[in-house]
Amino acid sequence: MDRRTFLKTSVGASAGMMVAGLAQPMRSMAAGGNTWRTFEVMTRVEIIKPSGVTRAWVPMPLLPDTDYHKNLDQSWTGNAASMRVYRDDKYGAGIFYAEWPATEAAPVIEVTTRFSTRDRAVDLSAPRNPAPEDKAVLKKYLSATKFITTDGVVRKTAREITKTASTDVDKARALYEWIVDNTFRDPKVRGCGLGDIKAMLETGNLGGKCADLNALFVGMARAVGIPARDIYGVRVADSTEYKSLGRSGDITKAQHCRAEFYAASHGWVPVDPADVRKLVLEENGGIPLTDPKVQKARAKLFGALEMNWLAYNYAADLKLPNSPGDPLPFFMYPQVETANERRDSLDPDSVRYRLTSKELNS
C-alpha cells in the first residue's frame, strides 16, 4: 500500500497542478478567545465492479485558512497508480484525485484529514469595520450558476421580500426569515438536494434539504446585489445544543452545506436557514416552528454557527480534474468514474464509501 502526506497548504495551485506547502504549528486559542477544536476525518472509498480505467475524487478541507478553520495535514493510502491533490482555479477547492489502471479489480483509497475549527459569531448590532474583500471575489459571488440563478422568478421574489429593507444586513435578514417561514425540510429528497432554486420557486414546491434551502438564500441574495455563497462540508461532532444538528463517529451521511453573505459593514456573515427547518422536522421527533428551542436557533443561525463541522469548499459547476464528465453542481460527496461513466455517489451498490470522525486532544 502506498502512503503519502500532504502538509498544510501555504500556497495555491491550479486544478492542473499538485498542491504543496509547509506545515505550521497549531494554535489552541484564537484572537477572539474562542477555543479551537481539532478533528481527524477519514474517508475510505471502494469502487464496486470497476470497468476500464477508474478514477475517484474526494473533497478536501477548505483552502485557504480562515478565522474559523485551519488545515493541519492530510495523508492518504491505497492501491491507486496515481494519487495527488489539486486545487480548483476558480473557487480554490481542494480535490484529492486517485486513478487505477483497468487491470485493478478492487480499487480502494483512504484519505485522512486533520484540521482545527472554532465557533463563528458576527455581532450584527454594530458595524465591525472589517478589511474590505477583494472586488473580484465579490463579483464571483454575485454571479449565477447552473442551478443558482439570479434573474426571472428568483429576482422577482427576492425584490418583493426585500422591498422595505434598506441595508444589506436588513435585506439578508428578510430573505433568511422568509425562507424559514415558507420552506420545509423534505426527508424524501436524495442526499442534500440539487439546489435548483428556479424550479423550486416556479413550481411553488419549497421543500428540500440544505443544498436546496441554503442555495435559495444564496441565489436571492445575489439577485438583490448581495454577494453570497454556499459552503459545502460535513458534520464531524455532536452538537452541544441540538441532537439533530450534529453527528460523530460514522459521518458517512452527515454532509451539510451552509451559507454566508457579505456586507461591507461586517464582512462575511454566516447563516443557516436550512438547519432551522431541520430542527422542526427532526428535533425530538419533530417540533413546531414556534417552539422556544427552534426560536433560539432561528435567532442564532443568522450570524452565528456551531463549528462541529468540516468546511470543504465554495465550488459550484465544478469540473473535476482529468474527468470527461459534466461539471458537478457542487462537490460534497466522493465521486467515482469507471470506463468514462460517472457512478451515482448516493448508491451504495455503485460506490462504497465511509467517513469517520474523531476529536483529537489539542
Q: What distance in Å separates the CA atoms of residue 234 and residue 156, rounded to the nearest whole number?
A: 32
The total of other beta-carbon atoms located within 10 Å of residue 72's CB is 19
Residue 325 has a pLDDT of 94
How many structural domains compose the chain?
A: 2
Q: What distance in Å separates the CA atoms of residue 279 and residue 285, rounded to the nearest whole number?
A: 9
- 154 shares a domain with 7: no
Write down which residue in 280, 306, 332 finishes a domain: 306
- 216 shares a domain with 139: yes
- 127 shares a domain with 104: no
- C-alpha distances in angstroms, 252 versus 78, 200, 255? 19, 27, 8
Q: What distance in Å separates the CA atoms of residue 226 and residue 334, rounded to the nearest whole number?
A: 31
In this structure, the strands spanning 184-185 and 207-208 are: parallel
- 263 shares a domain with 159: yes
DSSP at 198: H
| Domain harbouring 188, CATH code | 3.10.620.30
Q: Are 50 and 105 in contact (CB under 8 A)?
A: yes
- Which amino acid, one-letter code, is at 189? V
Residue 20 has a pLDDT of 36
Residue with cell 438564500: 217
In a domain, 313, yes or no: no
In a domain, 339, yes or no: yes
Q: Which residues pair with 115 in a beta bridge?
A: 39, 71
Q: Give the residue among 345, 317, 319, 339 at the shortest CA–CA distance from 253.
A: 345
Residue 362 has a pLDDT of 54
Residue 129 has a pLDDT of 84
Q: What distance in Å separates the CA atoms of residue 348 and residue 255, rounded to the nearest whole number?
A: 16
Sequential pLDDT tens for the chain (362 residues)? 444 444 333 333 445 444 433 233 333 333 344 899 999 999 999 999 999 999 999 999 999 999 999 999 999 999 999 999 999 999 999 999 999 999 999 999 999 999 999 999 999 998 888 989 999 999 999 999 999 999 999 999 999 999 999 999 999 999 999 999 999 999 999 999 999 999 999 999 999 999 999 999 999 999 999 999 999 999 999 999 999 999 999 999 999 999 999 999 999 999 999 999 999 999 999 999 999 999 999 999 999 999 999 999 999 999 999 999 999 999 999 999 999 799 999 998 889 999 999 999 75
Q: Cell for 82? A: 496515481
In a domain, 15, yes or no: yes
- 329 shares a domain with 184: no
- 200 shares a domain with 156: yes
Q: What distance in Å separates the CA atoms of residue 267 and residue 258, rounded to the nearest whole number?
A: 16
Distance of CA 33 to the CA centre of its chain: 25
In a domain, 155, yes or no: yes
Residue 349 has a pLDDT of 86
- 158 shares a domain with 48: no
- 134 shares a domain with 113: no
Domain that holds residue 100: 2-118+318-360
Per DSSP, the three-state class of 324 is coil
Q: Which residues pair with 261 in a beta bridge?
A: 228, 269
In a domain, 49, yes or no: yes
- 236 shares a domain with 340: no
- 205 shares a domain with 70: no
In a domain, 105, yes or no: yes
Q: Give the residue among 354, 302, 361 at the shortest CA–CA distance from 108.
A: 354
In this structure, the strands spanning 69-78 and 2-7 are: antiparallel
Write down which residue in 282, 306, 330 finishes a domain: 306
- Which amino acid, one-letter code, is at 275? D
In a domain, 312, yes or no: no
- 324 shares a domain with 356: yes
- 239 shares a domain with 198: yes
